[in-house]
């Protein structure tokens, strides 16, 4: 029998969502009545079909069983961790790159005073956590040594406010350990935990929250003709296999974000397929993180209307992701994205 996947779709938000849930016309995402859905797309590697949730009973027995199991996962309440409240989504993760060569803000915050000022600004603008990185992983970038990476970020980490949630963007287990010892509360490894095998030991020992990101290859080669059989389902299977592996080695907590890795071994078509169908990953039962801020797909779609900040493209894709129930957005321009979300919420009340 083919493998089937369930994607929640046709979402409602705000007052309309609350009304529909109350009247049992839609199902709440993660128990949150602020966002709900009334259709699902049942997908295999050869077929896909959108049906109303009230028509699920008409499906063939085996497919119906799978879809019902997935819906139970999709609608189940999300628990808080690190004081992140998923009842008010999306949570905003601010980006702070302390590097000379990151694709967007490289070199801007290399000085400790500038980095600290930017971190404070991101929190003041509405970031609930800030992701600090000392190594660029943009397409074509080369790895730097642990010594270089640590020297870039150590001063800012040594002075972080322990009440704030700091995420550490690193692929190296020794950097992770040093960061955790200084109060880092989330690990964001863009390699999908594959760069440094000792990472598993660190995650298990400290029981720390982390991001599981999909990436096809290392940054220096990942954009050289990336290929998939089915990018959406290949990434789903990657997540599922990795989660099962983590459970098998004793990492049993659910404080894990799933990030499909926009731009990490994906061309424009791949990126668009993922963003348009991002809600498929809700059936894995873990919150979704999406990094779309200032990325190349915005340039590829906007052509002559591209800009250095790409705020327009970032905001439009952020609102779209919000309407698909994405729990966290990783963005550079926290203030502007937060502004757009606040206005949007009022408009759909």
- Would you please indicate which residues are annotated as catalytic (active-site) residues? 295, 330
| Direct distance between the N- and C-terminal alpha carbons of the chain, in angstroms, rounded to an integer | 44
Q: Are 132 and 166 in contact, with CB atoms under 8 Å apart?
A: yes
88: left (phi over 0), alpha (psi -120 to 50) or beta: beta
How far apart are the C-alpha atoms of 251 and 247, rounded to whole Å?
A: 5
Considering Cα of 117, then 118, then 121, then 123, what sign does the dihedral take? negative
How far apart are the C-alpha atoms of 316 and 295, rounded to whole Å?
A: 13
Answer whether the bond into residue 90 is a cis peptide, omega within 30°. yes
């Amino acid at each position: 029998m083919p493998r089937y996947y369930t994607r929640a779709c046709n979402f409602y938000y705000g007052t309309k969502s609350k009304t529909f849930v109350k009247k049992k016309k839609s199902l709440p995402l993660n128990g949150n009545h602020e966002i709900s859905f009334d259709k699902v797309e049942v997908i295999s590697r050869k077929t896909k079909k959108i049906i109303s949730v009230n028509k699920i009973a008409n499906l063939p027995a085996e497919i119906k069983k799978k879809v019902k199991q997935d819906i139970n996962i999709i609608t189940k309440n999300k628990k808080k961790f690190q004081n992140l409240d998923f009842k008010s989504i999306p949570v905003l993760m601010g980006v702070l790159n302390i590097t000379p060569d990151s694709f967007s803000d490289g070199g801007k915050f290399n000085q400790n005073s500038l980095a600290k000022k930017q971190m404070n600004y991101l929190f003041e603008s509405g970031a609930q956590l800030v992701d600090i990185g000392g190594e660029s992983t943009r397409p074509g970038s080369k790895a730097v040594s642990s010594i270089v990476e640590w020297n870039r970020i150590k001063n800012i980490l040594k002075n972080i406010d322990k009440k704030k949630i700091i995420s550490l963007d690193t692929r190296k287990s020794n950097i992770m350990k040093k960061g955790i010892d200084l109060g880092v509360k989330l690990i964001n490894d863009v390699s999908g935990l594959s760069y440094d095998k000792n990472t598993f030991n660190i995650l298990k020992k400290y029981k720390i929250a982390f991001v599981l990101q999909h990436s096809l290859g290392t940054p220096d080669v990942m954009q050289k003709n990336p290929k998939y059989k089915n990018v959406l389902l290949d990434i789903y299977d990657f997540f599922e296999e990795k989660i099962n592996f983590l459970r098998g080695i004793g990492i049993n907590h659910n404080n894990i974000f799933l990030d499909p890795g926009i731009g990490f071994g994906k061309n424009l078509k791949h990126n668009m397929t993922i963003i348009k169908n991002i809600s498929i990953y809700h059936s894995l039962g873990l919150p979704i993180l999406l990094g779309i801020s200032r990325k190349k797909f915005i340039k590829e779609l906007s052509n002559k209307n591209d800009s250095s900040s790409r705020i327009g493209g970032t905001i439009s894709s952020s609102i779209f992701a919000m309407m698909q129930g994405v729990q966290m957005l990783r963005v550079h321009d926290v203030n502007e994205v937060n502004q757009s979300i606040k206005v949007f919420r009022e408009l759909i009340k």
